[in-house]
Amino acid sequence: MNIGSLDPLSLAIYVFPLALILLLYIYRMTRQQRENILLKSKIIQSGLTEPPSLHPLIDPLKCTGCGACIAACPEQPGHKVLGLIHSKAELISPTECIGHGACFIACPHDALQLVFGTKKRGVDIPHLKPNFETNVGGIFIAGELGGMGLIRNAIEQGRQSVESICTDMSKQHNNELDLLIVGAGPAGFTASLAAMEKGLRFATIEQEVLGGTVAHYPRGKMVMTQPAILPMVGEFPFKNTTKEKLLTFWQQAEKDTGVCINYNERMESMTVIEQGFEVQTSKNTYRTHSVLLAIGRRGTPRTLDVPGENLPKVTYSLEDPVQHQNHRVLVVGGGDSALEAACAIAGVDGTEVTISYRSAAFTRAKPKNRQAVEDAVSTGRLKVMLESNVRAISEEAVELEQHDRHFKLPNDAVIISAGGILPTAFLRSIGIDVETKFGIA
């Protein structure tokens, strides 16, 4: 049909709907862009500009603004990680990006690459081969320590690492073990099941409890993951669940399979020997052909080094807020874990909770956690002492310094959530190459 031959009325019938659709599209895109610019500006002002792990670096010259990366992000729409600004994709909320990598896969124009760290903040990442083996032959790394913090990624890496180790098991050796697994978080637990399924002579040690970092989340914390397959168990069905449900699933899998994990056993040293390694722990000495490190990045808790820190009432993580009912609690720190712990305890009847943080603002915490703190403060359930430092801890009180003034607060429990000392020094001490990455793959 020749549009030029149509009379004005017929032409209007055809053109008007198309024009209306175009105008609605332009309005919608303009509104979204304004929202993205405003949100990004707020994020920059709050200082939340450093991604915690793997994240996309977008080449604006290659990006066509198709939005495929935005649609593929599993965190959307609950968390505005990516958005379009001036018809180009940008990382709007860097701290909300947790390294799914789905955006990289979805981009049809090769405009994204996945990187660690930024120009301002480097991230220590051990150098790994595609089979998760380090530069030290026989030592493998899986999970968060290698830079991949997602539970599903950790599960897959734990399984794939054992498959790689089995391939290398063609060499004869005289050690008591084929494999020593260090850590029982998602990667280490999966690797233990895989080693059991493969019939390897193995042992798994864990300095704390089953679950790794997940076990130290506050009670009721939501956990984002994706379905996966666990060796000897089958489908790992969770997509968005709680810490408790996830740990219950793992505990049942441990019971059903009979896999053995040596808890409360800490690795202390590792020495290269003929045909493998000798690993000294707090309880035993193991001679093994291969070692899988699945120890996470939480590392050793950072201490305050103040008098009284060794008292029983001082801990470095929160497991159950209810145990602090009717307690006067001090939480030390300004990151997400500190704010989550303080708010969780403040929700328990009879508690008096105070946060002590050395800086002037909670710039490292996510907006939702800062808002939760503001809400708790406004209702009187929580007190905040910014620019303060703990000077001493006693049985019945804590001494804090703020603006050259000293305060004593009656106290029943102290939770120090000041981060951890990463195991970088240990990795380097056994010869593993560790690179500090500043926004590179």
| DSSP assignment string, 271-309 | EEETTEEEEEESS-EEEEEEEEE---S--EEPP---TTT
Q: What is the pLDDT of residues 61-99, one digit of tens each?
A: 999 999 999 998 887 777 788 989 999 999 998 888 877
Instruction: Find the Cα–Cα–Cα–Cα dihedral 58, 64, 66, 70, rounded to 10°.
Output: 10
What local confidence, expressed as pLDDT, does residue 12 receive? 66
What local confidence, expressed as pLDDT, does residue 346 receive? 95
Tokens coding 112: 């994204």
d(CA 194, CA 132): 15
| Residue 385 near residue 356 (C-beta atoms within 8 A) | yes
Closest to 416 measured CA to CA, from 298, 314, 342: 314
Backbone angles phi, psi at 296, to 5 degrees: 70, -175
* Residue range(s) defining the domain that contains residue 410: 314-420
Q: How confident is the model at residue 9 (pLDDT cuts 50, 70, 90)?
A: low
* DSSP classification of residue 218: P
Looking at the chain, the whole-number percentage of residues with pLDDT higher than 90 is 47
Does residue 369 sit in the same domain as residue 323? Answer: yes
For 199, counting Cβ atoms within 10 Å of its Cβ (0-12 exposed, 13-18 middle, 19+ buried), the class is exposed
Residues contacting 197, CB < 8 A, separation 6+: 231, 232
Q: What is the mean pLDDT of residues 327-344?
A: 93
Q: How confident is the model at residue 438 (pLDDT cuts 50, 70, 90)?
A: confident
Does residue 131 sit in the same domain as residue 153? Answer: yes
What local confidence, expressed as pLDDT, does residue 436 receive? 83
The more confident residue out of 311 and 207 is 311
Structural domain contains residue 84: yes
What local confidence, expressed as pLDDT, does residue 347 receive? 93
d(CA 214, CA 230): 17
Number of C-beta neighbours around residue 202 at 10 A: 25
Structural domain contains residue 136: yes
Structural domain contains residue 291: yes
For 144, counting Cβ atoms within 10 Å of its Cβ (0-12 exposed, 13-18 middle, 19+ buried), the class is buried
The more confident residue out of 36 and 99 is 36
Radius of gyration of the chain from Cα atoms?
A: 26
Domain-terminating residue out of 50, 82, 115: 115
Structural domain contains residue 307: no
Mean pLDDT of the chain: 87
| Residue 124 near residue 71 (C-beta atoms within 8 A) | no
Residue indicated by tokens 């005289």 = 174
In Å, how far are 246, 257, 258 from 253, measured between CA atoms? 11, 6, 8
Q: What is the mean pLDDT of residues 228-249?
A: 83
Does residue 292 sit in the same domain as residue 350? Answer: no
Structural domain contains residue 37: yes
For Cα atoms 354, 359, 364, give the angle at the middle one, nearest 5 degrees. Answer: 90
Does residue 60 sit in the same domain as residue 91? Answer: yes
Does residue 349 sit in the same domain as residue 375? Answer: yes
The more confident residue out of 403 and 223 is 403
Tokens coding 376: 């708790």
Q: What is the pLDDT of residues 359-379, one digit of tens each?
A: 988 877 877 888 999 999 999
What local confidence, expressed as pLDDT, does residue 411 receive? 96
Does residue 33 sit in the same domain as residue 179? Answer: no
Structural domain contains residue 306: no
Domain-terminating residue out of 115, 143, 158: 115
Does residue 194 sit in the same domain as residue 209? Answer: yes
Residues contacting 245, CB < 8 A, separation 6+: 238
d(CA 113, CA 91): 12
Total structural domains in the chain? 3
Tokens coding 300: 């050793």
What local confidence, expressed as pLDDT, does residue 138 receive? 93
Residues contacting 36, CB < 8 A, separation 6+: 80, 83, 84, 85, 90, 92
Does residue 229 sit in the same domain as residue 139? Answer: yes
Q: How confident is the model at residue 41 (pLDDT cuts 50, 70, 90)?
A: confident
Tell me, rounded to whole angstroms, the distance of Cα 294 from its chain centroid.
14
Q: How confident is the model at residue 220 (pLDDT cuts 50, 70, 90)?
A: low
The CATH number for 68's domain is: 3.30.70.20
In this structure, the chain runs to a length of 441
Number of C-beta neighbours around residue 403 at 10 A: 7
Asked if the model's pLDDT at residue 310 lies above 70, the reply is yes
Which contiguous run of DSSP H or E holds residue 85?
strand 82-85
Q: How confident is the model at residue 154 (pLDDT cuts 50, 70, 90)?
A: confident
What local confidence, expressed as pLDDT, does residue 2 receive? 54
Backbone angles phi, psi at 161, to 5 degrees: -60, -45
Q: Would you call 197 helix, strand, or coil by DSSP?
A: helix
What local confidence, expressed as pLDDT, does residue 299 receive? 67
Asked if the model's pLDDT at residue 24 lies above 90, the reply is no
- The region of weakest confidence among 2-16, 56-70, 305-319, 411-425 is 2-16
Q: How confident is the model at residue 441 (pLDDT cuts 50, 70, 90)?
A: low
Does residue 268 sit in the same domain as residue 150? Answer: yes
Does residue 232 sit in the same domain as residue 355? Answer: no
The CATH number for 428's domain is: 3.50.50.60
The β-bridge partners of 414 are: 314, 330
| Residue 268 near residue 213 (C-beta atoms within 8 A) | no
Q: What is the mean pLDDT of residues 431-440?
A: 83
Q: How confident is the model at residue 406 (pLDDT cuts 50, 70, 90)?
A: very high
What local confidence, expressed as pLDDT, does residue 39 receive? 86
Q: How confident is the model at residue 27 (pLDDT cuts 50, 70, 90)?
A: confident
Structural domain contains residue 106: yes
d(CA 88, CA 265): 50
Does residue 289 sit in the same domain as residue 428? Answer: yes
Domain-terminating residue out of 71, 95, 115: 115
The more confident residue out of 114 and 193 is 193
Structural domain contains residue 304: no
Q: What is the mean pLDDT of residues 104-123?
A: 86
The more confident residue out of 15 and 282 is 282
Does residue 104 sit in the same domain as residue 233? Answer: no
For Cα atoms 54, 55, 58, give the angle at the middle one, nearest 5 degrees. Answer: 145
| Residue 151 near residue 225 (C-beta atoms within 8 A) | yes
d(CA 175, CA 194): 20
Q: What is the mean pLDDT of residues 220-231?
A: 74
